[in-house]
Structure 1
Amino acid sequence: MSLGLVFVPCAGPVLAAVTALAATGTVGTRVVLVTGAYALGAGLPMLAIAIGGQRLTSGLRILRTHALTTRRIAGIVVGATAVAIAFGADTRFTTALPGYTQALQNRVEFSSSARTAIRDLRGGGEALAASGAASRAPEAPAFRGIDSWLNTPDGKPVSIAGYRGKVVLVDFWTYSCINCLRTLPHLEAWDRAYRRAGLRIVGIHTPEFAFEHVPSNVRSAVERLGVRYPVGLDDDYGTWDAYRNEYWPADYLIDRAGRLRFTHFGEGAYGETESQIRRLLGEKAVLPRTSVADTTPTEVTTPESYLGYARLANFDEFVTYDKPALYHFPKRTLSRDELAYAGRWTVHPSRIVAGDDARLRLRFQARDIFLVLGGRGRLSVLVDGRMLRTIEVAGPPRLDTLARFPRLDTGLLELRFTPRLEGYAFTFG
């Protein structure tokens, strides 16, 4: 148990990574060095503990005198620990401990460098459409694992093969993602402008949060947002994995022969994407270009901030996992982008659930502030101590706009939740 408290991260994931590297690559200098580094990292602490323990026991007369009794007591402790583990006591104990390494772990795991390294190992989405030349472009993967389809006759599935002879734009999105929502007007404009010329847009809704797995929630969002093109529900990430995708939103443009010719990840570059659509359609000088404002943020804003403990960052208090606990705002001034909770909260992996006197503060820099909210109740929004608005929350979880400013602004956001309201993630514009 003591080793479990100090060994962060645990050996299992590291060993798995080393094994995967050795299994998928040739045995060379890199593999030998990585394996050797892991062996040293795992072995040296054990050696230090063994030597230290030996010196400790040899230096303490009482232990030498009662060596047999000490071994018996140690045996009883080991046996009791094994019984406790068998009945799940270790899990209850560890979940009761605060997540003292969570912020550091999140900062490492979700950093841009870590994501880039993982994408390179997996063969990320960029590799699927690395060449714009038809002769070298890879064949587009088929849609896989789609549970159901929206906006098709009688819910019938669509397919890449069935669209052969058409230009297809596959858009990965999820309905509570502000980046995806800012992309939708452009997709809808292209659908209207180029459908007769042979463009087909297919939305692949791959959920990020649990509530986005509920078909009725997605159906309501599609209707509310006015999406008219087919939308496939990719709840098990079958198509996401087939395209080796990593992003919301992500666009994959497929030519009439079924080959991937262009990709774009994230918001923006709408002019470039439309130019590629027109090129593949052969409509460069025939149809007028669409005219939709690009609302992609260009200024530095507070980054997306998740509220559940699985991806909680910029949070400086111990977190109690999955059960109600009392939190307090720090007496010091929050630094930029820092979060703090006060009152009673239950913090789950991907969401927080409000209890009595539940409040949240965030030092932000943004023009627009959005929050994914769920449950039923009332949310009060204050900025720098001034009440801005009150939001009535009901129905399926969705993205709500908390505040809009005429220009980039900084301030202290405070939210006051009625009990049982749920918060998932902030995004900013």
Structure 2
Amino acid sequence: MAIDIKAPSFPESVADGTVATWHKKPGEAVKRDELLVDIETDKVVMEVLAEADGVLAEIIMNEGDTVLSGELLGRLGEGGAATAAAAPAPAAAPAVATATAAKSAEAPILSPAARKLAEEGGIDPASISGTGKGGRVTKEDAAAAVEAKKAAPAAPVAKTVAPAAEAPLFAGGDRVEKRVPMTRLRAKVAERLVEAQSSMAMLTTFNEVDMTEVMALRSKYKDLFEKTHNGVRLGFMSFFVKASVEALKRFPAVNASIDGTDIVYHGYQDIGVAVSSDRGLVVPVLRNAELMGLADIEGTIAGFGKKAKDGKLSIEDMTGGTFTITNGGTFGSMMSTPIVNPPQAAILGMHNILQRPMAINGQVVIRPMMYLALSYDHRLIDGKEAVSFLVTIKNLLEDPARLLLDV
């Protein structure tokens, strides 16, 4: 009996999806819960698994086709993995032959001194010929075997031939082109970015932060932190999240959003963290970041990074968010103007940390400095609020004790 393979049920925010990749071909055997096909939506990639053992009988929706929630993708037929017989076990050897082989492979008898010499010299006792009574291996036999091994020339090491380098996509001098369809995720990101620039009065304000204190704190406690929190590593992002949460509490307009002609103020801080993946930019959300400690933040972000790499981020992971942080510094960016993620009102951009000369108390000293950028919707946030918000983050990071003292 054929089993229908249907598209998964999409959330209300997702209208349809695209068949991204079939992992099986018609006629191939499949096992229960084995991955059959990936469905790419505007936000995530959803996997369709086999409901039972069988054979992929028919593909109805091909790669690149648009599908609706619950639409028929193909059919799974009987046979294949479901009917494959187990390979017969090899026939047992006759007992007489087994006994004979065991007797012939019987280990030689070694004296304690001979066994010790053989073990220290890395010699297999079975390879030593005994000259003692009844074939017993004496101490002299073991010593001669060890000396023979030392005198033997070392076996030549086979040279490993490096595999040929993969041919470049375009050979030098060739005027060729390659056209590939844009993924739905990347297309949706592009659409939202253009929409943000055309519908917002977007501005960007800049500042710089001295990372000396944060770096010293991290260097001092990173090993103890990792040991205490079961392998969670202490990074810089958790400090920026905590500083942003505190600044958002002081400037609620930066944590607000516009809904039609209304301003919606949020009494919680859901911080989106921009993550780059092979399929495009995704922004998973730290829910109630105001209730999270540094270890919770770092562990959750690390989990998001792994899920993004494996294409396992869910709709729930990326829904909502009241403020976003993006870190271009991981790629070496020194300065940028990040684009606000609507309907949010602002986004914080982190950048590369560089050693730069700074004038402090009348003297020039070298400090690790980072440029910060805050892009914001001027319809909702005034310039004074935006600058004050960014200065607050700067002050909290340059003196991390403020985060504990709430000053």
- Same fold (TM > 0.5): no
Which of the pair has more CA radius of gyration?
Answer: 2
